[in-house]
Amino acid sequence: MPRYALKVEYHGGPFAGWQRQADQPSVQGAIEAALAKLEPRDHTIAAAGRTDAGVHALAQVAHCDLEKDWTPFRLSEALNYHLKPDPVAIIDCAQVDEDWHARFSALERRYFFRLLMRRAPATHDKGLVWQVSQPLDADAMRAGAAHLIGHHDFTTFRSTICQAKSPVKTLDALEISEAQGLAGPEIHFHLRARSFLHNQVRSFVGTLERVGAGAWAPEDVKCALEARNRAACGPVCPPYGLYLAGVGYPDDPFA
C-alpha cells in the first residue's frame, strides 16, 4: 500500500485536540473521515505530535496508507475538498517509503507561541493568541529562559498526566522576540527539541510570563527547574497562542 506524508495546517479552536475522540471532534478524526470518502473503509493515521485542545498547527505532519496510487497533488486536493468546512488544510503531500513514520522518523519538533500585550479584548486574533493586559520585560524573560536550554530533568514543567517514560529531555532552543502585530505588541516564543513533555511549552511560557511581569526573578526559573517538583512551576498558560510550527526529518519528504 502506498504511504503518503501530509503536511497539515489547522485552527485548534473547534477541536478537542489532534487525537481521535469517541464523542468529540478531533483533527485526526476529521482527516480520517475525509480519507474514508476517498477509500471507503476505516483509516488510522499517525502524526508527529498530539496537540491538545485549542492548540493550532502551521505544519503538523502525519502519514496515511492508501490502496490506490494517488499523485500527491490530487490527494491533497481531494482531501481539502472533503475537509470543508473544518478549519483543516493539507498544505503539502508527498509519497514516502513504506517504513517512513511521521512520528518515529522525526528528528525535532518546533513550536511557536504568540503572546499579545494590550488591555482591550482581542477581536480578529481571538483564539489565536494568549492575551495579557500589561507590558512584559522581554529581556528578563530571555534571562529566565536561558536556564531552561539544554539537557535537564523537566519534572517541574511536565503535566501530572504526562505519559512520557522519562522527564529528562534536551531543549535545543527557546528564543524570545518582540514584534508589532496588527492588534498590538506581541512577544513571540520559538522552541525546538527532539520531543516535548505534555504541557511543557505552556508551562514554560506561563512561568516566563511571570518573569516578564516582575512577579518572578529570572533566577527563580532555575530554582523551579532544579526543584523537580510540579508544584514549583508557574501558571500553565492557555493553549490559544500555541502552534506546532514544524517537524524536522533526516530527509525532508516535502523538499
Measured from the Cβ of residue 159, the count of other Cβ atoms closer than 10 Å reads: 17
Q: What is the pLDDT of residue 151?
A: 98
Taken in order of first residue, the domains within the chain and their CATH numbers are 3-105 (3.30.70.580), 108-246 (3.30.70.660)
DSSP E strands in 35-129: the ranges are: 46-47, 56-65, 88-96, 108-117
What pTM, to 2 d.p., does this model score? 0.96
Q: What is the pLDDT of residue 42?
A: 95
| Tens digits of residue pLDDT in 96-136 | 999 999 999 999 999 999 999 999 999 999 999 999 999 99
Q: What percentage of the chain carries pLDDT values higher than 90?
A: 98
Which residue in 23, 42, 52, 125 is the catalytic one? 52
Q: How many residues does the chain have?
A: 255
| Tens digits of residue pLDDT in 56-110 | 999 999 999 999 999 999 999 999 999 999 999 999 999 999 999 999 999 999 9
State the sign of the Cα–Cα–Cα–Cα dihedral 200, 204, 210, 213.
negative
Q: Which pairing describes strands 242-248 and 56-65: parallel, antiparallel, or unpaired?
A: parallel
Q: What is the pLDDT of residue 241?
A: 97
- What confidence category does residue 53 fall into, taking pLDDT thresholds of 50, 70 and 90? very high
Q: Has 52 been annotated as catalytic?
A: yes
